[in-house]
Structure 1
Amino acid sequence: MTVRSPAAHVDSWYSRSAHPAPAHPRLQGRETADVVVLGAGLTGLSAALELAQAGLSVIVVEARRVGWGASGRNGGQVIFGFGCEQPKIAAMVGPELSRRMFDWSIEGVRLVRERIATHGIDAGWRDGHAHVAIKPRHIDELNAWQDDLATNYGYALPWWDREQLRAQLDSPRYLGALYDPASGHLHPLNYTLGLARAAVAAGVRIFEHSPVVSLTRGARPVLRTAEGEAEGAFCVLAGNALVHGIAPELDDKIMPVGTYVGATAPLGEERARALIRNGMAVADINWALDYFRLSEDHRLLFGGRASYSTLPPPNLPGTMQRRMTRVFPQLEGVKFEQVWGGLIDISLNRAPHWGRLGDNVYFAQGFSGHGVAATGLAGRIVAEAIRGQSERLDAFAKIGHRNFPGGRALRTPLLVAAMAWFKLRDALW
């Protein structure tokens, strides 16, 4: 077995600082297992690990490398909840089930911590996350959210006024924060590679460089590649934004969106800690939000500037640098050494889209930029359903999902126009 080089992934600070990991063979010929999984990201590996620990044989088929997609190059923020506001979920499924789903989201955060500890995954975990206010209306929104979380979900979070926030975050941009000590952040690629190691140790077989070209459904679903096929009693589809045509009824329920992260040159420990004294991760609550945190080697990792056309914005490094210096004027002149991006999947209502197709094909998609914790939860819930405990998956299947309007030709232009309105709202109100 050979050792993976950093160049195996999209060039990023994550790939350059990734721990060595074994390469996995291509899928060639016919392989069988109890469960076959499409996608070696956080969702697929989480499901595979849970199933293998329960004694089932599992094959994971990956088009490129373990963690090549969003799982290995996202913002690294591990936070409660889902991609849409909890009141929206409550309106769809009722307050009682919404409360249970929220509790499950907390389980997703806890699950990340537990897996790091159980499997000895060195992913640079740091405690703490703050949602920050830029404008007075954001203070009102965050205070209303704080009250809703405490009153309806039993999740009490402290409010930091401007002075309290400034004691931890050296930025003049923000007016206050809702702080969560139980959320946090990590190195997502090292976490994903660690999950893969844990899955292999539990007996999972992983095949890389094996893009799936078709799914044959039936009593024993088959994932086919150019060189082989994997057959199982059950199948899990966990490719998210990077899969098209394998299960057409899922395609129009999600939209690929480009997201981008940059890493500055090392700032030095003293300068970095002066920016974020408690080491927390931070995100504002604009529609086109900024999010940032410190790396283990004292860089600022700064994300934002999503592209709803999926095309990288022009002069992306320059745009990212301007956004960064609005937050930290003291970093004027500090350059990004790397800026990278990739596709995530969003659902129309931003709620998770998890369920089954027929009796034995399961899927999880629609993480909507909120997936580091939710993907692990999704994998666990799908694994429970395969083992005959489907109550939690059935609960998520009650969330209604519509196709993006406009069909394949017009849905991207329509989304771009809608997002332009929300960005204008961020700027003017």
Structure 2
Amino acid sequence: MTLIMKSAPFAAETKIDGSETEIWRIAILVLAIMPAFHMVATWDADGNLTWYAHILRVFSLPVILLEIFLLIFSYVKGWRPWEQFKSIPKIIQIAAYIFLGVGFVSSIQSGNLLVLSLLNFFKSIMQILFLSAMTYTITNSPKFNLLKWHSFITLGACAYVALMVLFCLIIPNPDTFRWVERIPSATNIRQIGNVIGILAIVPVVLLYTVRERIYWPFIVAANITLLAFLMWSGTRGGLVGYFIAIAMIPLFAWKLLNRRIITTMLLTWATSVGIALALPIPAEGFGLIRVQESMKAEDVTSGRLAVWNSTIEAIKEAPLIGHGSGTFRSNMARTKGYHYNHPHNFILQFIYDWGFLGGGIAAIFVILFGLNLLLLLSASIVPKATAIGAFSAITSVALIDGTLFYPLPMIIALALIAPALAEKASRDNQLT
């Protein structure tokens, strides 16, 4: 397979020796198996969720474990995050120090939720470190192949869906199983749908990059598999993120867009809709009919307005530095009777956790990060289009759900963004 890019390897000025030039292969293997690993680790087909299984799901511990492995692996191979930190503008460094201070203090003052809050705050910091590590890994891999990077993620996504299909087929007591809440790898089917919505972007990108016809049936099959499952899951947010992403990608990859891609996408959508409608749904809350009905309901926000209003009231109680990371569920269950892990809006989530000071900085960082991707003039077509598509998907869904709360969707999106940043870093190194 060939990649329609002039700078596929991202050749860079590197300090690693020949034995280490393929470190990206280890990274992509771990990333590819991550969703399926999370699925297997949280497999509980009887539907009886123990406290141990609940912790695995809520904190995404299997995902965190693999993420920590990648961070340690990158460090062993020469990644030094503080060196990257020194290269960013001073004003960003100062803002980062303020954010870290606020995040730590807000966790300290969270009372009996101190440990929980600190762990959740560290989980947030880990995502920044992960992007830094993956950018370093790709930059320092002269033989990096973007096409293989995307292909492995696609294979991993299909394996993830295949495991979920297998799980659904072997449920011992399907009539009494709590389908919406208990399919493994998340605490509800919406989280799974949001993850699939981001993963489904990748085989779309492959349509732009692969020209050999022999591979197209597999790519089309991957597109249909992921999109049909997304539709069957009834996840409105995941569908919104997916369609926003695939609308953004051709804006930056229009030179590669042709009639074959457009025709294939239209046929893929039609086939996916047909499959999703034909498949039996195990319970209410699944399927495209659910999406349609939710749009016609009196409250199209599915109760989010009430949660948002309650979150705003809670923010007023600690407006400067917030209540601390990860305290939303416990505090809101005690005061409002809500049992949500997050407020279903990343801006409210940031401000609730870290107040207007820390949360405002975090929100500005997200906005600046998106603008930085738009202004990546030195990046090639495919990496930039993919990065913008992934960023658009995860942030648009994060306005109505928790994709910036759970590690897995963030890791997938950042893995799709990292190649564009790595290419820019490589070219900057060459200029200096």
Pick the TM interval, shorter chain. Answer: under 0.3
- Which is richer in helix? 2
- Which is richer in strand? 1
With normalisation by structure 1, the TM-score equals 0.27
